[in-house]
Structure 1
Amino acid sequence: MKTFIVALSLVVTGMVTAQDNFTKEDAKGIVDTFFEGFHKGDTAVMRSVLIKEVPLQTVATNQEGKHMMSNGSLDNLLNAIANRPAEQKWEEKLLDYTVQIDGNLAHVWTPYEFWLNGNFSHCGANAFTLAKTDNGWKIIHLIDSRRRSSCKQG
């Protein structure tokens, strides 16, 4: 009986440990998959790492210096990507990744530069919130900042 209890304890401990093995590289991989789909115009790839209804937000400062926050629609984003003209090239260059993980929650911060048809457009940072769901780890929120000043282009 003692052997059975020890064996059961090891199995349960192994299962709990296996659930906690989500790494910074795993989180980075989810963001990379999102952008792989973004760059290829493949919304199915993007959807594979998103929950069904992801809140999208953008913060920026307008030309008059007023601070703005807008809420976007995942469907609108995916439709724009799917219907992007073939001659348009959108490239979001991620400059770094900062990843924080706590249990079933992760946050990935990615400063970026956005290039349109090879020309610099703007820069900012993306903040992805990821959570472990019944379908695996998924992006559950995305907010980005956008600006044209103080950008390191390259």
Structure 2
Amino acid sequence: MRYAIAAALVVAVSGCATAPGAAPARPAVQQVVLDAEDEAILKTVDMFLLAIGNHDTVMLDELVIVEGVSWFQRAESGELKAVEPFMNSGMIEPDADADPFIERYWNPIVHKRGGLAQVWAPYELRDDGVQVHCGIDAIDLVYLDGAWRIASVLSSLEVGVCEALGAGTATGVRPRDGWKETPNQ
């Protein structure tokens, strides 16, 4: 009986094995039906990413709750670094030397309840047409004064994970238009 159980475990485990050098599995594409409120939330995220990428401090001042704190975690050579805080007020400080960039996302998951919402999505950042890094954005929003506003951004900044996250093959990439940088293809 022990041998039968051991043999069954070997067969089960071997079915989970991946051939050496095989590409990592891509995340499944979620087909989620978005309602009008989800679209309003995603439109706010779109405007925020355009404002960040285009260094539009006027738009950022309208969208971002400056008292908030955002958190970023870098990964270098596959090693996660410490999570670092960033005051939201720093997002709206003008920088005359700022270089526009594109940050686009796909397969967003929207959670909402009342005046609270969160958008979780993989993203890609490009500068001068070159892929810099990818990661996950988790953007917290609050409904204030009749509009959705950005309360906090949790973001991983990872080099070498773009293909695994679906960059390049994703459909429904957002935001599409409005960049000062290289057009979003």
Tell me the TM-score normalized by structure 1: 0.73
1:102 aligns with 113
1:15 aligns with none
CA contact (8 A) 2:77 2:159 kept: no
Which structure 2 residue ranges, 5 or more long, are not aligned?
Answer: 1-34, 169-185
What letter corresponds to residue 40 of structure 1 in structure 2? Answer: N
Aligned counterpart in structure 2 of residue 83 of structure 1, from 79, 89, 95: 95
How far the C-alpha of 1:135 sits from its partner, in A, is: 5.6
Give the structure with the higher percent helix: 1
SS of alignment partner, residue 53 of structure 1 = coil
Matched, 1:33 2:47: yes
CA contact (8 A) 1:62 1:68 kept: no
SS of alignment partner, residue 109 of structure 1 = strand
Higher alpha-carbon deviation: 64-73 or 121-130: 64-73
Once residues 134 and 150 of structure 1 are traced to their aligned partners in structure 2, the CA distance between those partners, rounded to angstroms, is 38
What letter corresponds to residue 85 of structure 1 in structure 2? Answer: D
How far the C-alpha of 1:109 sits from its partner, in A, is: 1.2
Aligned length: 131
Once residues 64 and 96 of structure 1 are traced to their aligned partners in structure 2, the CA distance between those partners, rounded to angstroms, is 23
Structure 1 residues 32 and 66, CA gap change in structure 2 (3 angstroms): closer
CA contact (8 A) 1:107 1:130 kept: yes
Give the structure with the higher percent strand: 1
CA contact (8 A) 2:73 2:80 kept: no
SS of alignment partner, residue 33 of structure 1 = helix
Larger relative contact order (CA 8 Å, sep ≥ 6): 2
Structure 1 residues 61 and 38, CA gap change in structure 2 (3 angstroms): closer
Once residues 36 and 27 of structure 1 are traced to their aligned partners in structure 2, the CA distance between those partners, rounded to angstroms, is 14
